[in-house]
C-alpha cells in the first residue's frame, strides 16, 4: 500500500499475477482485503484444458498509467497460456466495474465485439473480461501476456501485436 499511495507506484500482474492481485483485492478494490464468497476470482477454463493461443483483445478503458498511451477501442493480438483464466463475478459486480471504467480490456471476436464463445473468449470469462483496473488505475491485472511480444514472431499473422503496456507505465513517471 505504501508503494502505491505514498511512493506513487504502479503494480501490474499478468496471468498468475492477475490471479494474485484478485485474491489480494488489489484489483478491483485498490487495497488488500479479505476474500469473500462473492469476491471476483479466476477459475478453471470452461474447456477444462490449458489454452495457449493468440487472442484478440480490445482496450475498453485507458484510465490507467498502464494504458494511457492507448485509445479505447484499440485492438491487439496477444498470447494467452493458462488453465485457470476464467474471470468469474456476479452481474452486480461486473455492472459496477463497467460503470466505474475498471474493465480495462476484453476478449473480442473478428468484428471487435466482446467474445462470448470459444475461441474468441479462450477461457469463458464472464463479460469477456480479460483485464481489470483498481479504482484509480494504478493496479492493472490481465490474463494475456503482453511481455511475450517479439517483433519477428508471428510476422505472418495479421493484426497489431505490440501492446506495450510497460512503456506506458514508464511514461507515467516521465
Among residues 35, 84, 147, 152, which one is catalytic?
147
In whole angstroms, what is the distance from residue 63 CA to residue 155 CA?
A: 30
147 assigned to active site: yes
In whole angstroms, what is the distance from residue 102 CA to residue 7 CA?
A: 22
DSSP H helices, 38-164, are 91-99
Among residues 6, 12, 15, 84, which one is catalytic?
15
Q: Using 70 as the pLDDT threshold, list the residues of the chain that sit under it.
A: none
Q: Is the pTM of this model over 0.85?
A: yes
| CATH code of the domain in which 118 resides | 3.40.50.880
Q: Which residues contact 171 (CB under 8 A, 6 or more apart)?
A: 65, 68, 69
In whole angstroms, what is the distance from residue 126 CA to residue 8 CA?
A: 32
Query: Which residues constitute the domain of residue 145?
Result: 2-172
Q: What is the largest CA-CA distance in the chain?
A: 46
Q: What is the tally of structural domains in the chain?
A: 1
- Per-residue model confidence (pLDDT) at position 152: 82
Calculate the alpha carbon distances from 120 to 55, 70, 84, 108, 111 in Å. Answer: 6, 21, 16, 6, 11
12 assigned to active site: no
34 assigned to active site: no
Among residues 6, 50, 130, 145, which one is catalytic?
145
100-116 pLDDT tens trace:
999 999 999 999 999 99
Residue 165 pairs with which residues in a beta bridge?
none
Amino acid at each position: 500500500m505504501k508503494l502505491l499511495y505514498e511512493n506513487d507506484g504502479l503494480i501490474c500482474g499478468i496471468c498468475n499475477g492477475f490471479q494474485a492481485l484478485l485474491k489480494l483485492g488489489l484489483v478491483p478494490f485498490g487495497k488488500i482485503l479479505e476474500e469473500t464468497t462473492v469476491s471476483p476470482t479466476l477459475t478453471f477454463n470452461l474447456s477444462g484444458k490449458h489454452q495457449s493461443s493468440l487472442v484478440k483483445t480490445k482496450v475498453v478503458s485507458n484510465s490507467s498509467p498502464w494504458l494511457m498511451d492507448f485509445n479505447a477501442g484499440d485492438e491487439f493480438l496477444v498470447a494467452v497460456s493458462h488453465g485457470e483464466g476464467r474471470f468469474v463475478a456476479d452481474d452486480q459486480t461486473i455492472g459496477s466495474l463497467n460503470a466505474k471504467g475498471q474493465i480495462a480490456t476484453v476478449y473480442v471476436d473478428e468484428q471487435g465485439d466482446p467474445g462470448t464463445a470459444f475461441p474468441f473468449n479462450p477461457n469463458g470469462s464472464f463479460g469477456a473480461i480479460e483485464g481489470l483496473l483498481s479504482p484509480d488505475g494504478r493496479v492493472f491485472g490481465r490474463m494475456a501476456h503482453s511481455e511475450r511480444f517479439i517483433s519477428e514472431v508471428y510476422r505472418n499473422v495479421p493484426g497489431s501485436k505490440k501492446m506495450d503496456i510497460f512503456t506506458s507505465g514508464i511514461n507515467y513517471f516521465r
